[in-house]
Amino acid sequence: MPTLLLVRHGRSTANSSGVLAGWSPGVDLDAEGRAQATALAARLAAVPLARVVSSPLDRCRQTVQPLLATRPELASDLDERIGECRYGEWTGRPLAELAQEPLWRTVQDHPSAAVFPGPEGEALSEMSRRAVEAVREWDGRVAAEHGADAVWLACAHGDIIKAVVADALGLHLDLFQRISVDPASVTVLRYTPLRPFLLRLGDTGDLSGLAPAAPAPSGDGREQSDAVVGGATGT
């Protein structure tokens, strides 16, 4: 099955000012985030990509822009399902202030029960459902169009990526706060017929090793689901 690169957007003006951005308009990458986006394109130079899918929010679109500029032939799409959680009345407020809210403890300790306040507020469980649905749907589409060895990229947000990783690892959503992904980091998943594999988590270094290896021998697909006994060999 294809290899999925889950990229968190570069550092934004909201990140650097300690504000919960959510779906606020006009949240751009800051100077550090723009440098991270440029570096991401260079880090991925040796990795053939079949498709790029991005959250429609500006900070994600700006993160993949340098990559797309260097590969004008690359198909790209926007998908709201991997857009940020809708934080409702928490949107745009300082994180230090939100930490005093009673709901903060629910978000930290029992996120599957957290529903953000206000008519636009979303449950974290719904955010997780839509994000997982989106990446699995796109993964199947990439496999059908480009083959099992294809590599594709989805640019999203911290909580989105954490929820997708938790699902891949079989973790309850209440444990997803144990996962951390930095801005402009790359998390790598591969879905197989029997199980997903988490290949990298929050990688901010060299990505050249993600280029596909020689095609594997043909079979019924089950061998793609087998873990290496004793641990991966690094090849």
Q: What b-and-e string marks burial along 72-109, b requiring 16 or more CB atoms within 10 Å of the CB?
A: eebebeebebbbbbbbbebbeeeeeebeeeeeeeebee
What pLDDT band is residue 228 in, cutting at 50, 70 and 90? very low
What pLDDT band is residue 220 in, cutting at 50, 70 and 90? low
Predicted confidence at residue 222, as pLDDT, reads 57
Domain-by-domain residue ranges, the chain?
3-205
Report the CATH superfamily, name and number, of domain 3-205: Phosphoglycerate mutase-like (3.40.50.1240)
The more confidently predicted of residues 234 and 219 is 219
Query: Is residue 122 scored above 60 in pLDDT?
Result: yes
Query: Is residue 207 scored above 80 in pLDDT?
Result: yes
Four-residue CA torsion sign, 164, 166, 167, 173: negative
